[in-house]
Amino acid sequence: MKVYEAIARGLSDLGCTELFGVLGDGCVYVIDSFRRDCNGRYVPAVHEGSAVLMAQGWARVAGKVGVAAVTHGPGLTNTITALVEGAKAGTSMVLLVGDTPVTDREHAQNVDQRALVAATGAGFEPLRSPETVAEDLARAFYRAHVEHRPIVFNMPVEFQWKEVEYQKPYLRLPETRSAIASSTDMDDAIGIIASSRLPVVIAGRGVDSPEAEAAVLRFAQRIEAPVATSVRGKGLFNDDPFHLGLSGTVSHDVATDVIGRADCLIVFGASLNKYTSAERGLTRNKRIIQINPLASELGRCTPVTVGLVGDPGLTADAMVKWLDEAEIPGSGARNDDLLQQLNTYHQNAQKKLVRSTPAGTVDLYELAFAVDQALPKDRVFVTGSGRFMFAFWSVISVPNPRSYVDGNGFSSIGIGEATAMGAAVAAADRPTLLVTGDGGFMLSGLSELATAVAEELDLVVVVANDGSYGAEHIALTMHDMDPEISLLPSRDFARIAEAFGCKGLTVTSSAELQAAMAAVAAHDRKRPLVIDVKIDPASVYGGTAIARP
């Protein structure tokens, strides 16, 4: 078969079922063969960067390597921001990219593709020859798995029409789950836990399976510690009565108080970055035990007292074993007083958070609570980047961490829209909620509505339309400067969405919000729904709640 056919067959044999892309002469034959010869699903995006983001959204929800394909030159340069997002978010994906023939020195689309990819933080894996297709493609997938970042598979155009004998790619991933059975670090960790009177367990995206979640919760119950999560750990410990919710800049009052007073933090599978640590306001003057499979992650964002290299679930079980053998009692931090505080907070949260806003607008928290109640609990939640996200992070629940995806690795607006569409493909029979801002929606969301309609995605898009670039509005206001330059012209996103084939709604009041939520509950799940919600730019929470020392 031809090399392009061997690449397509190799994708299928490696387990690729969905391929996102934009056609170009450097990738069209691979895409066509994957769709026609291998019965794979091809999702055509409008923009190459969107194709990469769709593959990343799919990967985050599916828990597998996402795959996209674009052409050489401008096809690749259009993916730069998306590749940076994937590298910063630690998303495993393979991007197939055609490459200009080396003999055509004056080709208009010729560019140093290796150098471009290196600048994004993604990896680069070349197709070395027609005879090494299977080995090179398998290596690209292997690296995406183990390096947790995008890997660009570079396919020279002159190779793609060569004849080769097909070989099935061989991919076997190493068993990496392990726990420290005994060590000085483990002894020190057990000693710190034994002396702690108010420990708190924080879990992140690295607690990546129900088994690991159950093990970490057993550990927390054994030491009688309340639990919290990072934003990307959202969905863990949903049923635990001593769940404090999110740790960090969006912690609620009870969580901020408890984590702030804690004398020990045991952190499983979370980086403890500045958002989870609230700019280190929640980690100051504490003994910290961090557990992560990668030694390079220990103390990377926040200095820790003890670092344990190991699988979060296995290490949690090993620590319980040591605690039991030493007959170390629990801390008593899971008590009736804390339970009462949490119950009181949850009973009064909506009343406390929702504020009045000027006529013609809706409060952001009122919107978040309404959306949370209108959608089925088994949903996928995707957020773009913007000041609106803090309210939705706090309020919207998900059943597990794979059901939450943010487009915030690079803090770039316009990332969430395409990411949500890839997530919706992976979500299958579950609805996907995207919350985005008007600036990001204009930047890249509108054009990809065509893709969402063509693919009949079960997608609900909530545009928090404050008529401004929110971060800049905050920055100007904080410096007592006129924020006029940050304001955006009024746009009717509902009518624009209708023109693309979506159902569109506009919300300017509490009454219209309730009507829109009824439409959410009853919407045609094969027709994307876009809700344009007018928000007062001067009333939006800026997400600057820093924990006290």
Residues 441 and 333 in one domain: no
Quote the pLDDT of residue 16. 97
Specify if 544 maps to a domain.
no
DSSP element (H, E) containing 138: helix 133-147
| Residue 548 belongs to some domain of the structure | no
Is residue 286 within 8 A of residue 149, CB to CB? The reply is: no
The number of CA neighbours under 13 Å toward the Cβ of 270 is 33
Q: Is residue 533 predicted with pLDDT exceeding 90?
A: yes
Are 438 and 493 in contact by the 8 Å Cβ rule? The answer is yes
Q: Which residues pair with 202 in a beta bridge?
A: 228, 267
Domain count, the chain: 3
Q: Which residues contact 290 (CB under 8 A, 6 or more apart)?
A: 267, 272, 297, 298, 299, 304, 306, 307, 308
What integer is the mean pLDDT of 428-444? 92
Same domain, 242 and 155: no
Domain CATH code at residue 188 = 3.40.50.1220
Span 399-424, pLDDT tens digits = 999 999 998 888 899 999 999 999 99
pLDDT in tens, 326-377: 999 999 999 999 999 999 999 999 999 999 999 999 999 999 999 999 999 9
Q: Note the pLDDT tens digit of each residue in 475-514.
A: 898 899 998 998 888 889 999 999 999 999 999 999 999 9
Q: Give the Cβ contact number of residue 336 at 10 Å.
A: 7
Residues 445-479 pLDDT 10s? 889 999 999 999 999 999 999 988 888 888 898 89
Instruction: Output the pLDDT for position 545.
Output: 32
Amino acid identity of 342? L
pLDDT in tens, 202-215: 999 999 899 999 99
- The answer to whether the beta carbons of residues 54 and 419 sit under 8 Å apart is yes
Are 360 and 260 part of one and the same domain?
no
Average pLDDT over residues 16-20: 97
End-of-domain residue from the set 339, 373, 395: 339
Give the residue numbers spanning the domain of 194.
184-339
> Tokens 């924990």 belong to which residue?
547
Predicted pLDDT of residue 396: 95
Domain-located, residue 169: no
Tokens 């730069």 found at: 80
Sheet of 432-437: strand order equals 404-406, 380-383, 432-437, 459-465, 529-534, 503-507
pLDDT at 88 over 70: yes
Assess whether 195 and 263 both reside in one domain: yes
pLDDT of 547 higher than 80? no
Query: With bands split at pLDDT 50, 70 and 90, how would you rate the model's confidence at 302?
Result: very high
| CATH code at position 493 | 3.40.50.970
Residue 547 lies in a domain: no
Q: Are the CB atoms for 395 and 372 separated by under 8 Å?
A: yes
User: In sequence order, which residues have a C-beta less than 8 Å from that of residue 28 and are 6 or more positions away?
Assistant: 71
The H or E element spanning position 382 is strand 380-383
For residues 121 and 151, give the distance between their C-alpha atoms in angstroms, rounded to a whole number. Answer: 10
Question: 354 to each of 58, 92, 362, 370, 385, how far by Cα in Å?
Answer: 33, 38, 10, 11, 22
* Contact between 58 and 20 (Cβ < 8 Å): yes
**Among the three residues 159, 174, 194, which one is the final residue of a domain in this structure?**
159
> For residue 539, is it within any domain?
no
549 found inside a domain: no
Is 546 part of any domain? no
For 314-330, what is the mean pLDDT?
95
> C-alpha angle with apex 162: 161 to 165, nearest 5 degrees?
125
Query: Residue 179 is encoded by which pair of tokens?
Result: 């726990």
| pLDDT bucket at 546, cuts 50 / 70 / 90 | very low
Instruction: Supply φ then ψ for residue 170, to 5 degrees.
Output: -110, 120
CA distances from 271 to 89, 207, 244, 301 (A): 12, 12, 18, 6
Residue 542 has pLDDT above 60, yes or no: no
* pLDDT (0 to 100) of residue 387: 84
Contact between residue 409 and residue 88 where contact means Cβ atoms under 8 Å apart:
yes
Q: Do 252 and 384 sit in the same domain of this protein?
A: no
pLDDT in tens, 131-179: 999 999 999 999 999 999 999 999 999 999 999 999 999 999 887 778 8
Q: What is the pLDDT of residue 158?
A: 94
Q: Are residues 313 and 360 in the same domain?
A: no
Confidence label for 543 from pLDDT (cuts 50, 70 and 90):
very low
**Ordered alpha helix ranges (H), 262-329:** 312-325
- Helix, strand and coil content of the chain, in percent to the nearest 5, comes to 45, 15, 40
User: Do both 148 and 228 map to the same domain?
Assistant: no
Do 222 and 108 fall within a single domain? no
Same structural domain for residues 312 and 379? no
Torsion sign, CA atoms 495, 498, 502, 503: positive
User: Is residue 266, in this structure, part of any structural domain at all?
Assistant: yes
What mean pLDDT is predicted for residues 260-283? Answer: 94
pLDDT grade, residue 541 (50/70/90)? low
Angle, to 10 degrees, between the axis of helix 28-36 and the axis of helix 3-13? 50
At 449 the three-state DSSP class reads helix
- Taking the whole predicted model, whether its pTM rises above 0.75 is answered as yes
Whether residues 417 and 503 fall in one domain: yes
Indicate whether 399 and 312 sit together in one domain: no
Q: What is the pLDDT of residues 223-265, one digit of tens each?
A: 999 999 999 999 999 999 999 999 998 899 999 999 999 999 9
Q: Do 423 and 379 reside in the same domain of the chain?
A: yes
